[in-house]
Amino acid sequence: MSQNLVIVIKSLVFTLVAIVALELLLSFARGLGLHLLADSLVGNVLLEATIFGVQIGILNKYSQGKRLESIGLRRKRNGVRHALVGSFIGLAGIVLIYITVFASKIGVFEGFGFQYHHATVVLLFIISLFIRAFFAGVCEEVFFRGVLLQYLAKYKGKTFGLIVSSIIFSMFHCTRYNDLYQLSSVLLLH
């Protein structure tokens, strides 16, 4: 069996085992009355950190000291600045889309905002959203596009790697979406 396929299989198996272990730990903690761990933000961050930790372990074992290079990343002088600029551009694009949709009255947004909720609740929601997006973005990119895509591509080629990693990405997210249309859009976005 190819070493690259072994890495993909171990990455998937260890990730699934770690997710199940985390869920058992969180259930046990809730049973003890630790409601902080029942918070969805904390739970999401722990889930993403668990996925990330497994991938770092896999990369430590198999990347021969070249963790970033083995998943298609390179260290650059201004890498952090470029990542922050890219994040800001992405955020600005999303805000622009929402403003355009609501200003043109294509979409209506009712029941949320300063009129309906206290400013502190809205601010905490926005902060929570950014924390979730950051952790999900970094951790899932390392797992799906880093480890799975790169090692599947090394195993059978770029097209195979892209298709299989996209299917696995969709399978990991299938419980979050209500219908086939939404799930297929996740598959295409990956």
Report how far Cα 189 is from the mean position of its chain's Cα atoms. Answer: 13
Phi, psi of 144 (to 5 degrees): -80, -50
Mean pLDDT confidence for 92-112: 67
Instruction: Please compute, for residue 38, the number of CA atoms within 13 A of its CA located in the half-sphere on the CB side.
Output: 9
pLDDT of residue 143: 86
pLDDT of residue 114: 47
Give the tens place of pLDDT for each residue, 111-164. Answer: 554 455 566 766 677 777 777 777 777 788 888 888 888 889 989 999 999 889
Percent helix, strand, coil in the chain, to 5, is 80, 0, 20
* Per-residue pLDDT at 188 exceeds 60: no
Q: Which of 85, 48, 101, 102 is nearest to 56 (CA)?
A: 48
Mean pLDDT confidence for 163-185: 71
Q: Which of 145, 152, 143, 163 is nearest to 5 (CA)?
A: 152
Maximum Cα–Cα distance across the chain: 60
CA quadruple 71, 72, 73, 74: dihedral, nearest 10: 120
Higher pLDDT, 181 or 53: 53
Residues of the chain with pLDDT > 70, as a percent, come to 68
Average pLDDT, the chain: 76
pTM of this prediction exceeds 0.85: no
* Per-residue pLDDT at 39 exceeds 90: no
pLDDT of residue 85: 77
Phi, psi of 72 (to 5 degrees): 85, 15
Q: Whole-angstrom Cα distance, residue 172 to residue 27?
A: 20
